[in-house]
Amino acid sequence: MIGSGPNGLAGAIELARAGLEVEVHEAEPELGGGLRSVNLTLPGFVHDVCSSIHPLAVASPVFRDLGLDVDWVHPDAPAAHPFDDGTVLLLERDIGETAGQLGVDGAAYRELIEPLVESWPYPYAPRAFLELRASLRSALAAARPLAESRFRSERTRAWFAGFAAHSLLPLERRPSAGFALALLVLGHAVGWPFPRGGSQRLADALASRLRELGGEIHVSSPVDELPNAEVVLADVSPRELARIAPLPERYAALLQAYRLGLGAFKVDWALDGPIPWRAPECARAGTVHLGGSFEEISASEWGAWSGRPAAKPFVLLAQTSLFDRSRAPEGKHTAWAYCHVPNGFAEDMTERIEAQVERFAPGFRERILARHAMGPAELEAHNRNLVGGDLNGGKMDLGQLFFRPVRSLLPYRTPLRGVYLCSASTPPGGGVHGLCGYSAARVALRDERTRYRRPRSSSP
């Protein structure tokens, strides 16, 4: 296995469970890829360098089956969306409570979301599929037409936009609505928790499961050419695979043509106290969406998409230390926030991000003890899979959602026998769920079995 991100570790575990001798080679000194937590600011403060909020991990059948030793912390509410007038809309675990806050749009929200939550976790079973046709059609839509046709209040539309913007797509592009629906359904079905002690705990739990199965992990071990092994799974970017593997020219060209997504600009803070939200209910949520109105969030995403980030970018903020006291010294806090920027963008967005927090939490700046900022270049230096700061392993529009990085039913396979791609640049894409790694491992194991069952004369 090349790389020890969540997909690499999940894939390695599946291979080891099938009885293979597995070695993981990780370029960086710490294992975990996007799950690493380190001290970025002051002693005693733990920061998640990339991923922090893990609805996809708790929803993942792969991680669930492994019975990992992770203490999941659930904030009172998954997410909050404050407005300039000091009010807020929350995504609550309970559908009724959430709908209750949405006023005139409460019934429309229930109608949209309830069938999906009720069918969880099997929305793709044939019967459910028929019953859910309308909801699933909405999932392939763009956020703007869906919000404008379903919701009457500007507040509900703005709230919905915050979830849709996780797609890193303009809200007028498909399937940005699907990202919102998925995150809302997860909020009700499983919550938006995080591991006590930092995301690193999830990586460590995966690593110890792998070691129990006999697997080995080598850190500070960058792979620059294909290892000599029967099966090689690569938790790497398509470009990195093209760099290290002698791929046929045509396939290598397809990998080079794979489209990158937006980058991220991220700031971590060590704080003297909790964030002083104007709407105090924001302190009930682990994640806070800072973007104001639908039009502002839309303009922010278009800005990043078209190369000119907005003056008031949409900011995604996590405040895990409010619910997990192990992340900061007594009375102190951490916060994690990022906005979307053009891929490879080189300007400093710290001031714009902090202004957005200050807008909804006057006095925030006075609580900052230390900060650490990472633009696309620093993110890529931290983890070479984050090409140009791209946090989803490639654009997740309709063209690259199901077929990534190439148009094939099993895009994990490469033309090289025994070599598979298993990073977030394969289906189902970005996020911490391990499904790319697991699926690639299953394909590899099936191919291996077929190879050995074939009569000798027909083997290549």
Ligand X SMILES: Cc1cc2nc3c(=O)[nH]c(=O)nc-3n(C[C@H](O)[C@H](O)[C@H](O)COP(=O)(O)OP(=O)(O)OC[C@H]3O[C@@H](n4cnc5c(N)ncnc54)[C@H](O)[C@@H]3O)c2cc1C
Binding site for ligand X (CB under 6 A): 2-8, 25-28, 33-34, 50-54, 56, 222-223, 235-236, 240, 244, 264, 266, 338, 379, 383-386, 391-393, 423-424, 430-432, 436
Q: Is the peptide bond before 428 cis (omega within 30 degrees of 0)?
A: yes
Return the half-sphere exposure (C-beta side, CA atoms, 13 A cut-off) of residue 313.
Answer: 26
For ligand X, which is the closer residue by CB, 40 or 50?
50
**Least separation, in Å, of the C-beta of 85 and ligand X?**
28
**Least separation, in Å, of the C-beta of 364 and ligand X?**
20
For ligand X, which is the closer residue by CB, 132 or 202?
202
For ligand X, which is the closer residue by CB, 70 or 102?
70
Per-residue tokens: 280: 């105090």
**Least separation, in Å, of the C-beta of 295 and ligand X?**
25
**Least separation, in Å, of the C-beta of 173 and ligand X?**
20
DSSP E strands in 200-332: the ranges are 216-218, 232-234, 263-271, 285-290, 315-318
For ligand X, which is the closer residue by CB, 227 or 362?
227
For ligand X, which is the closer residue by CB, 80 or 102?
80
Q: How long a stretch of residues is the chain?
A: 460
3-state secondary structure of 11: helix
User: Could you tell me which residues are beta bridge partners of residue 270?
Assistant: 334, 370
**Least separation, in Å, of the C-beta of 181 and ligand X?**
16
For ligand X, which is the closer residue by CB, 17 or 239?
239
Count of beta carbons in the 10 Å neighbourhood of residue 348: 12
Beta strands 232-234 and 419-421: pairing type?
parallel
Task: Report yes or no: 230 and 452 within 8 Å, Cβ to Cβ.
Answer: no
Check residue 31 and report its DSSP letter: S
Distances (CA, A) of 108 to 105, 121, 154, 226, 390: 5, 22, 14, 53, 34
Q: For tokens 């079905």, what's the residue?
A: 189
CA angle centred on 185, ends 179 and 191, rounded to 5° = 110
For ligand X, which is the closer residue by CB, 70 or 424?
424
**Least separation, in Å, of the C-beta of 384 and ligand X?**
5
For ligand X, which is the closer residue by CB, 102 or 391?
391
**Least separation, in Å, of the C-beta of 11 and ligand X?**
9
Q: Give start and end residues of each alpha helix (H) in 152-199.
A: 154-164, 176-189
Task: Report yes or no: 2 and 234 within 8 Å, Cβ to Cβ.
Answer: yes
C-beta contacts of 252-258 below 8 A and 24+ residues apart = 254/405, 254/406, 255/405, 255/406, 258/394, 258/400, 258/404, 258/405, 258/406, 258/425
**Least separation, in Å, of the C-beta of 269 and ligand X?**
14
For ligand X, which is the closer residue by CB, 58 or 279?
58
**Least separation, in Å, of the C-beta of 405 and ligand X?**
12
**Least separation, in Å, of the C-beta of 264 and ligand X?**
5
For ligand X, which is the closer residue by CB, 99 or 443?
443
Cα separation, 53 vs 230, in Å, equals 36
